[in-house]
Chains A and B, each alone.
Chain A
Amino acid sequence: MKTRTYRNPTGVSRYTGLLLISPFIIGALLLIVYPFVSSFITGLTDGSSFVGFENYKHILSDGQIRSSAAVTLKYALILVPLKLIVSLAAALVLNMELRGIGIFRTAFYIPSILGANLAVIIMWQYLFTSDGLVNQLLETVGLSPVSWYGDPNAALFMIVLLRLWEFGSTMIIFLAALRDIPRELYEAARVDGCGRARAFFSITLPQLKNVIFINLVLQTIAAMQEFNAPYILTGGGPLGKTRTIGMYIYEEMFTYGDAGMANALSWLLFMLIALIVFIMYRVTGTLRRDG
């Protein structure tokens, strides 16, 4: 057996870290390992008995679930970049030292506080039904109205817009990171005759590298697990074309009471997300390390 050396500051035991993360070790056993094992076992049953990988076989051959996976990927692919851009832009503006900026910061976070509040669901109906405000607006500028709820693609985009509108939490993480950028960097840049745009690309963005990455990972996970927004806005329709995998799992678990299928599907979703996150780590690896 080869012995490994632990690169800690002198005088720090290799167990110090373990001690610090000890709450997590207990938590991991109780909140991660145990539910994972339990869920895996349940995923191997059809309810009445052990069926091996039947549920998995069924899922992989089911066209509906495949199209649901495609919907989920498409949803994440549209939402995540948009949300990162919007929340970063909002954070940049709200980080300025303007009078009354706190009021705006609070206002911009309100959609995230409202969440699935009834007001939001009804407001979306006023906006997107056939003679809703958005279509009226489209018509006044000479465009043809869109069948928001009835057309699969439009319906998915409408859900994206709801989640985009709730950009508050992502924005906050950006705000917290923006504050950590040393102001001297900007002052030095200004002395060098750097413009606002140059400063953004050569100082702000590189400094935010890590936090852009965590927001990317967190938002991707959240989007891939999405179930609440389609659940309340479209119920998965039209024709099940906005039924995300997350919604599928929720319905199998609670609406149809098929815990075996719900858990098997969860494991597949888990593996899919793990793959995506792994790729993200790999691709951004060199970018994140330097600087």
Chain B
Amino acid sequence: MKKLLLYLLLTAAALLMLYPLLWLLGASFKTNDEIFTSVWFMPKVLDLSVYKRAWQTVTPYTMGHYFLNTFMIIVPKTAFAVLSSVLVAYGFARFDFPLKKLFYGLLICGMLMPSIVTVMPMYSFWSRLGLLDTYIPLTLPALFAGEGMFVFILIQFFKGIPREFDEAARIDGCGTLKTLFLVLVPCIKPAVISIAVFTFLWTMNDFLGPLIMIQSVEKYPLSLALRLSVDSTGQGYELRTVIAMSVIGLIPSLAVFAIAQKKFVSGITAGGLTG
């Protein structure tokens, strides 16, 4: 009985979370005036051809092409971000070294400054290196622990692991890196995975970065392609095609999250507050 109540409550909350997505799906079949006058998700007519138009786009490339571009950015970026954040956080959490306070201070400062101020300096930096219109400005910073927040999160998680783990590993003959990857990382796997997931999802949605750095339409990631038709200064445009594109564009994010969420709980030592 108690369980049923819980399920009811969860379902109600989930609907609140899901409704906009459902509405978005319905809106991909609606005319502009229907979109702005009907909060109910069901469209009056179901015409699937909008998805064909959306997939083809007005550009010479299909959405598949833009997906591919996005993954060319996301895959290295996610790998870089996870690897560098883990190493750096490990260094901060477990070792003492010269200038540690200074670097930790820099790490925190990097998180406090509004990111807008870095846009122009970074643009001129990459421009001078002749690397505009490549994916390097979008991926390489991740290799240098560019997202201070990830390091910050991981430091706290590393600190949560008892030092005895490291010592035991050392006695067993593990070196510094072996201790990290064989003993410590498995302990904080959920945190590491959430960092990968955050990088993935945020990169999917990142607009300003690629907008400034990428010039050729051929190299546009999906986030730019999604807004190709959006021109508020002009005669207007059919929203449903734009919406259909964004529905398709959400699929990878949803899939990645649905797969990753299992890892947040099931692990070597499944624990927590259970039933």
Chain A residues in 8 Å Cβ range of B118: 31, 35, 39
Q: Quick one: CB contact mask for A11-35 with B, threshold 8 Å, 1 for yes?
A: 1101111111101111110111111
In the complex, A238 has a CB within 8 A of chain B: no
Sorting the interface of chain B by its residue count into under 10, 10 to 19, 20 to 34 or 35 or more gives 35 or more
Q: Which of A100-133 contact B (CB under 8 A)?
A: 102-115, 117-120, 122-123, 126, 133
Q: How far is the CB of A212 from chain B (nearest CB, A)?
A: 10
Residue pair A183, B269 in contact (C-beta under 8 Å): yes
Q: A25: which B residues are within 8 A, CB to CB? A: 103
How many Å from the CB of B76 to the closest CB on chain A?
14
Instruction: Please give, as numbers and ranges, the residues of chain A lying within 8 Å of B243 by CB-CB distance.
Output: 118-119
A263-289 Cβ-contact flags toward B at 8 Å (1 or 0): 100100110011001000000000000
Taking a contact as CB atoms under 8 Å apart, the answer to whether A20 and B144 are in contact is no
Whether B120 sits at the interface, judged by CB under 8 Å, is: yes
Q: Which of A165-191 contact B (CB under 8 A)?
A: 165, 169, 172-173, 175-183, 186
Partner-B contacts on A (CB < 8 A): 6-9, 11-12, 14-21, 23-28, 30-36, 38-39, 42, 92-93, 95-98, 102-115, 117-120, 122-123, 126, 133, 165, 169, 172-173, 175-183, 186, 196, 199-200, 204, 210-211, 213-214, 217-218, 221, 225, 246, 249-250, 253-254, 259, 262-263, 266, 269-270, 273-274, 277
Binding site for A on B (CB under 8 A): 3, 6-7, 10, 13-14, 17-21, 23-24, 27, 35-36, 39, 84, 87-88, 90-92, 94-100, 103, 106-122, 125, 141, 143-146, 148-149, 151-153, 156-157, 159-160, 166-167, 170, 176, 187-188, 190-191, 193-194, 197-198, 201, 205, 239, 242-243, 246, 250, 253-254, 257-258, 261-262, 264-265, 267, 269-275
11 pairs from A and B in contact (CB 8 Å cutoff):
A6-B97, A98-B275, A110-B254, A113-B201, A113-B253, A113-B257, A119-B24, A122-B36, A179-B270, A249-B114, A277-B112
